Structures are given as structure tokens and as C-alpha cells.
Amino acid sequence: MFSFQPHNQATKNYIDKLIGKLKTCDVIAMFDIKTNNILVVLDKFSTKICRKNLEKNNKWKISDISELNFKENTKKYHNSYYQCTKEIILPTLPRKSSNYYIQIRNFRTKRNVNVELEKKASFVNKFKNLFGHFSGTNIGYRANILKEKDLTAIKNLFNNQTSVEEYRKIILAFIEGYEAGLARQTYPYFGWFKVMCTLITGTIFVMFWYGVYLVGSGLRFSMDGIKFRPETTDITFNDVKGVAEAKQELSDIVEFLKNPEKFSALGAKLPKGVLLVGPPGTGKTLLARAVAGEAGVPFFHAAGPEFEEILVGQGARRMRDLFKAAKEKAPAVIFIDEIDSVGAKRTNSALHPYANQTVNQLLTEMDGFLQNEGVIVLGATNRRDDLDKALMRPGRFDVEVVVDIPDYSSRKEIFDLYLSKILTRDVDTSYLAKCTVGFTGADIENMVNQAALRAAINDAEYVSMKHLEYARDKLIMGPERKLKINDTETNSITAYHEAGHALVAYYTKDAPALHKITIMPHGHSLGHTAFLSNKDQIHITKSKLLAQMDSAMGGRAAEELIFGPDKITAGAQSDFKAATSIAEEMVNLYGMSEKVGFGVRMGNRTDGYPSGPNANDLSDNEVKRLLQESYERAKMILQKHAKELKKVADALLKYETLSSKDVEAVINGEKISTETLKNQSRIIDPSEHVL
């Protein structure tokens, strides 16, 4: 509000009339400048007309921070000169008869808040601004804002040399423009950019949830069908060694795939599935590829875990797609590796009501074949007992082929196959086959490859027996560490521990043949004692099992005898684990306990013998008795041969590694030279050297 002295009343009325008629939004539309800018112009009108009185009596200045009360503001800014240095609101002049007092205060309007929000905009606000949705400001006004030079030209009109009469003319022109602005019709802003933004956002939202729906409904899975592409394999039975019996049985399947009319003409029912059962690494996958290669038909491969899906029904759909792809390429071979993971026994658990869908689909697909469709299913597993009984009935897996660990002749064939692919010299596969009892085809392949790598590292021109021995020990004992433990007491305990194993095996009937002992760390152990079977074990007698237990107990027995019961170590953990496993099998599986009797116990399942708390306690007591008796026998042997125990331990501390020949020489009192250790062959024929 303005308050003037009587001689300025006319001027005051003129300005009041002008300001009363003005509306901020229309002034903006006319001058196309920001809100505060036009208010600055109006402020210049009033201050120019009343300049003399303001310069004489002004006691105020702009304050962004007000004091506690009006009186404090008056004292703080007394005798200050008013200058319009900021964009301000219209000044308010207090009513006073003599002087002009102008107090200018800034406050935050809604527009100021919106401007600050736009400066510190979130991602959503930035996205809105990108499409023209400016909160707090009319987009139509912003589109017509004058350029900086135009705004400067308007401000230059109000210079200090302009007379009052000229100011009045400018004001009249301003009013005329203002009136013209009122006549212009302002249409409400619908914001086509805002509409476009909304449509795009809505479209993206709908497409996202539609994609989620498609995944849930299984459309994504149908696109996964491209994974089931047929493979053309050139592997034949000539590339598979050591499984002669399995190849003989599978040759009938090959004949069916080559000439199915031969079987159907006689009215014979064609086989639908073949189950390959055997330990890991025996060549089940290689046999399946060889079947397809021999028959010259497409080969479809899938692993059991691939059918495990998070979404319900995906496993069954994948199974349908697999068989559909195979039928289109018939005759064909479908190979499902680790079939126990998809064909496990069905459950009635309420927690997993859909867990049986995949195996049910497999049963349906196999039982729904036409007799002449020409699709054979090969399944591989090492856990046959976990398969569902319905999967094993005739009409699904008609043939079961056992792929067992290779024997001596089979190992020799496998060595001949893999050694023919590398450069070798002076390698005897007969010795190698004898020294690798229990090795599978995959183990032998890995052993030959490790030997070739070792030869390359040593810059050798060919692979020799030395490299093969290194590879074998690495597979059996673990990788050897380069340095021995630098602790005398630790090495002494380790030496007596390993010597205890060797001495008990040496003096025990039917014990496994010793191959090598060492106090060099291998893997996680500080030392190792390797035994070597002299032939393939077809029957395992009770005497052999007890001898294995006694040999395992020899390490702890030696520690207690030499260092006392307070110095025994935790190094016998693996020995006790092996001995306990043998004792439990003797009692619960082999019927070798008189007190427990006959019967098979596997967890909570029984066969031929009642189970219960009393039976379990009786079984545990028998296992404990067998272990204790085995420990006492090992302890008795070491007490009887204490001198030999010390000799072997001292030799280990000196030479670090001893072969079976070295141990025998030490026991017999013969000396071992360093040269002998370096030059002797480490591959021992078990038929000639059995301790």
C-alpha cells in the first residue's frame, strides 16, 4: 500500500489506479517476461516518480532475513539507501503523514518452490520436463519469453534522464497493451506432450507385464526349443575301449536304428529305452554318442538338471519339446544324462505338489510311442536305486546295460588308445594297467594328459614312465607341495605316522600291497601312504576288510606308542573315517557280525532284519568293537616291531619318500643310497613286489 503527503496525492492516485488494474499473468503474456521481472518494472514506475522524496526520507533497505520484530528492522536499516538490486514484489509504503518508509520483504511462493524442485529434480520430474510438463509455470508463457536483448531494451526506457511526462506516456502505452492482452482468449493447456508421455509410459508398463505373463505361460520356454537341435556325431564303437560287454548289448540297438523294418516284420516289439548304469567316468556318455554314430542318426542330448525350472510346468514342457524335436528327425537317439535328477521317485509331499510333473511327462512320452517311430531313449545314471519304479518297468526302459569299472585288460586297451595320441618312449602299458587298479576310463585319460603336460613343462621330447608315475601319484595322493614343513617335531610325528601304516600293512596277512610312503605334503595332508592292489578284486573277504582296518589304525597307534597319549594328533581323521566305513559295511551290509546277524540296514530302510532302538544300539556297539579290536591289533604289531618302526621313520626323515622296495630294504637292514633312490623305477609290478 502507498501513503503520500498531500502534494503527491495526485501521483499516488494515478499509480494506484494503474496497479489496481494490472494482473500479473496478463502482464507476463504481454511482455513475455518472468513474473518478478514485470514487478521490477512496476516498482521502477513508482520509485521514479517519487524519487526525490524516497532519497530524502528512505530509512529501509532490502532484507532477506527479517529481525524478530518491526522495531528491530527499523533500527538495523536506519539511514540506508534504497536500491532496487533484486527482483522484488511490489513495495508497500506504510501510512505516514510526513515520510516515505519502504520495507521490502521476500517470501517463498509456490512458484519459487517449484523452481527449486526443478533445479533438484528427481528422475520422474526430469522425465516430465523432457516432454514439456513444467510444474508451476505455464508452458505457453515460457514458449514466448523474450530474448535477453529485448528485455534489456525495455529496461533502457527507464533511465535517469526520462522526464515524468515521458514516464506517463510509457505507462499509457503499457495500459493499452494490457487492455489488448485482456481481449485475447486464453485456452486451457491440455499438454499434448504430457499426453504423449502418459501414453508412452502406459505402453511400456503394459508391454512389461505382458512379457511377464508370456514367461509365466510358457511362451518363453517354447522359444527355448531351439536348444534341442540334433547333433551329428562321428564317434563309433572303435573309439570306445574297455567296455566290450556294453558294446555288445548296444549293438542290437544300433541294428534296430539301421533296419527297423527287420524287427517289425517279424512282429517283434521294438525297444523304447536303454538305461546305462555305472560309476562316474566309465564312458556312459561316450557309449551313447557311439550308438548314434554307428547308426548314423541324429543325436539329441539333454541333462537331467536342465529340466529343473523355477516356474511350475516348465520341466514338463521342456520334456515335450525334446521328444517333439526327436520325432520330427526320427530315427533318432535321445540321451538324458543324470536321469536320476528328473526320473527320481515321485513324492506325495504337500510342500511340492507339482514336483512330479516332469517325471510324469517322461513316463507319458516313453509309453506313448508308436511301435515304429524309430526313437530310442538312452538314460545314464550312477544312482539306479533312486529311479521311480514306473520308469524301470518293461515298455519304458526295456534294456539295462551295466558299465562297470574296467578290469586289467580293459585298462590296457584304454592306455593303448590314449597313449597312441601322444609321443611316448619305453612305456609299458601292461605295467600301467597293473598299477592303476580301480581307475576308470576318465581317470586314465586324465592321467595320460597330466603326464603329457608334465613332459612339456620339463621340455622333454616325449612322455616317459617317469612322467606317467608323476601323474598317477598326483591323482592318488594329490598335488605334491614343493617344500617340506620346516618343523622338526611335526616332521617326526608325520614320519612315525606314515611308518606305522607301512609296518602294519607289511606284517598283516591279506593287507593291500604298499606302493609308496612320503612325508612331503600332498593336498591337505602332511604325508601319504599309497597302497597298490596286486590284482582286480572280485571277492572281498572278511580277512581283507580287517587288514584294511588294521592298516588304517597303524598311524594313530604309532603316534601313541612313540609320543604318548597326550601327543596324538588330528591327522588320523581320514584313517578313522575309512576304518569306520569298513566296519559299518561289515555289520550292516555284509552280515559279518555274529551278534547283529544277517540283514541289510541303509539308514531307516531295512531288509531281512528288524530295526529299532535296540537293533541300532546293537549295531553301533558292534562297529565300536570292531574298531577297538583293530586298533589293538595294530598297536600290538608296532610294539613287536618297534626297531623296524624306528628304522623306517628315520629313513623317511632322511629321504622324504620311500617306495615299497625301499621299505623292504630298510626292514631287512639293507642300506639305501641316494643314487639308488634317484635311479630306481617308481612303477612297481605288484605281482613281483607285494609286502
Burial of residue 407 (CB within 10 Å: 0-12, 13-18, 19+) is middle
All cell numbers assigned to 31: 511482455
Q: How far apart are CA 162 and CA 539, in angstroms?
A: 124
For residue 583, what pLDDT band results from cuts at 50, 70 and 90? very high
All cell numbers assigned to 419: 597313449
- pLDDT at 389 > cutoff 50: yes
Residue 337 β-bridge partners: 303
Domain 244-402 has CATH 1.10.3720.10: no
CB 631 within 8 A of CB 556: yes
What pLDDT sits at residue 195?
74
Per mean pLDDT, which of 216-220, 600-604, 619-623 is the most reliable?
Answer: 619-623
What pLDDT sits at residue 92?
42
> pTM of the predicted model, to two decimals?
0.61
Backbone angles phi, psi at 658, to 5 degrees: -130, 140
What pLDDT sits at residue 196?
81
Q: How far apart are CA 514 and CA 516, in angstroms?
A: 6
Which CATH number fits the domain 408-476, given the four candidates 3.40.50.2020, 1.10.8.60, 1.10.3430.10, 3.40.50.300? 1.10.8.60
Q: How far apart are CA 129 and CA 135, in angstroms?
A: 8
What pLDDT sits at residue 139?
45
Element (H, E) at 334: strand 332-337
Q: Report, as an integer, the average pLDDT of 467-471.
A: 90
CATH number of 484-603+614-668: 1.20.58.760
What pLDDT sits at residue 448?
94
- Whole-Å CA distances, 206 to 128, 198, 309, 496, 558: 19, 12, 26, 75, 76
CB 533 within 8 A of CB 438: yes
Q: How far apart are CA 512 and CA 530, in angstroms?
A: 10
Provide the phi-psi class of 79: left if phi over 0, else alpha when psi is between -120 and 50, else beta. left
Q: Report, as an integer, the average pLDDT of 149-155.
A: 65
Q: How far apart are CA 255 and CA 253, in angstroms?
A: 5
What pLDDT sits at residue 208?
82
Could you say which DSSP state residue 167 is in?
H
User: Hey, which residues are catalytic here?
Assistant: 498
What pLDDT sits at residue 94?
45
Residue 381 β-bridge partners: 277
User: Which residue did the predictor score with more confidence, 362 or 123?
Assistant: 362
The average confidence (pLDDT) of the chain is 74
- pLDDT at 116 > cutoff 90: no
For residue 648, what pLDDT band results from cuts at 50, 70 and 90? very high
CB 549 within 8 A of CB 626: yes
DSSP, residue by residue, 335-387: EEETGGGTSBPP---TT-TTTTHHHHHHHHHHHT--TTS-EEEEEEES-GGGB
Q: How far apart are CA 631 and CA 435, in angstroms?
A: 29
What pLDDT sits at residue 680?
47
Residues of the chain with pLDDT > 70, as a percent, come to 62
**N-to-C CA span, the chain:** 120
The residue type at 16 = D
What pLDDT sits at residue 143?
43
For residue 108, what pLDDT band results from cuts at 50, 70 and 90? low
Within 8 A by CB and 6+ apart from 175, the residues are 18, 21
User: Which residue did the predictor score with more confidence, 372 or 670?
Assistant: 670
Q: How far apart are CA 210 and CA 612, in angstroms?
A: 57
User: Which residue did the predictor score with more confidence, 661 or 308?
Assistant: 661
- In three-state secondary structure terms, 300 is strand
What pLDDT sits at residue 100?
46
What pLDDT sits at residue 485?
72
- pLDDT at 612 > cutoff 70: no
Least confidently predicted of 345-354, 428-437, 487-496, 572-581: 345-354
The position carrying cell 608296532 is 638
- pLDDT at 453 > cutoff 90: yes
The position carrying cell 514367461 is 215
**Where would I find the beta strands (DSSP E) of 536-607?**
600-602, 605-607
Least confidently predicted of 18-22, 210-214, 430-434: 18-22
Could you say which DSSP state residue 296 is in?
T
Least confidently predicted of 355-364, 493-502, 560-569: 355-364
What pLDDT sits at residue 463?
93
Helices within 218-334 (DSSP H only): 219-223, 244-258, 260-264, 284-295, 314-328
Which residue ranges make up each domain of the chain?
Answer: 157-221, 244-402, 408-476, 484-603+614-668
